[in-house]
Amino acid sequence: MKVNSLLFSTPLGSTYVQATSDQILSIAFPEEEKSDLFTELYYKEAIHEDEYDELAKYPLLLEAKKQFQQYFAGTRCYFKLPYKIYGTPIEQKVYRLLSIVPFGYVISYLSLSQMVGIKSGARFIGSCMKKNPLPLIIPCHRVISNSGKIGGFSAGVGRKKFLLQWEKTNWEMSHESSSVGRWLWYTFKRKNGEQTQTTN
């Protein structure tokens, strides 16, 4: 299985996507100001967004970049990309539930834990969010504390604040224009009850 990667710019900074020919495997945000070996490897091994001829050989990476650009342009409220995510059966269930929390809505760590059948499992949910290899596609930034505090984020709290504010600002437009967004929300409510809220 050959794995390729792309490094491109978004409002979150340098964005790294790793994929096979048919599945997204991971998304990360390497820090340009750091010089550790792990960060250097991101830059060394990845195709850069200005390498047009090379990038054209990898349609899925190209599509991922396109969908990220659409999200940050305010014209896309969900990602439609094939992906592979690993974890225990209960972690997989958490990620499946989280994947249908719509653009512009948030859910608490506690509510999410109760939905997967773990009472008072907020800490477990936090651990799952920290291990999530596909931020934005699996929108762990939409999970906040029961008190309303935003909680942590593997890519940095600053990025989580930005994403929540971005979705709050663009929420009305996305839900007026996207029947898919509304369908996801109603499906989620039917399956799990009134346990999420809008960021507005």
**102, exposed or middle or buried, with CB in 10 Å at 0-12, 13-18, 19+?**
buried
User: Which tens digits make up the pLDDT trace of 117-171?
Assistant: 887 788 899 999 999 999 999 999 999 998 888 888 888 899 999 999 999 888 7
User: Which tens digits make up the pLDDT trace of 48-74?
Assistant: 888 888 888 999 999 999 999 999 998
Model pLDDT, residue 194? 45
Q: Give the separation between CA 154 and CA 160, rounded to whole angstroms.
A: 9
Half-sphere CA count of 154, side-chain side, radius 13 A: 20
- Write down the pTM of the prediction: 0.82
Of the ranges 37-46, 50-59, 168-177, 184-193, which is most confident?
A: 50-59
Q: List residues with catalytic annotation.
A: 140
Would the pLDDT of 178 be above 90? no
Q: Give the separation between CA 41 and CA 34, rounded to whole angstroms.
A: 12
Instruction: At 16, give phi and psi (nearest 5°).
Output: -115, 125
Q: Give the separation between CA 24 and CA 62, rounded to whole angstroms.
A: 11
Model pLDDT, residue 23? 96
Among 45-49, 59-63, 85-89, whose mean pLDDT is lowest? 45-49
Average pLDDT over residues 86-105: 89
Model pLDDT, residue 118? 85
Among 32-36, 50-54, 91-95, 165-169, whose mean pLDDT is lowest? 32-36
Q: Give the separation between CA 181 and CA 124, rounded to whole angstroms.
A: 28
- What is the share, in percent, of the chain residues with pLDDT greater than 70? 78
Model pLDDT, residue 177? 46
Q: What is each CA distance from 4 to 23, 26, 46, 60, 139, in whole angstroms?
A: 11, 11, 7, 10, 23
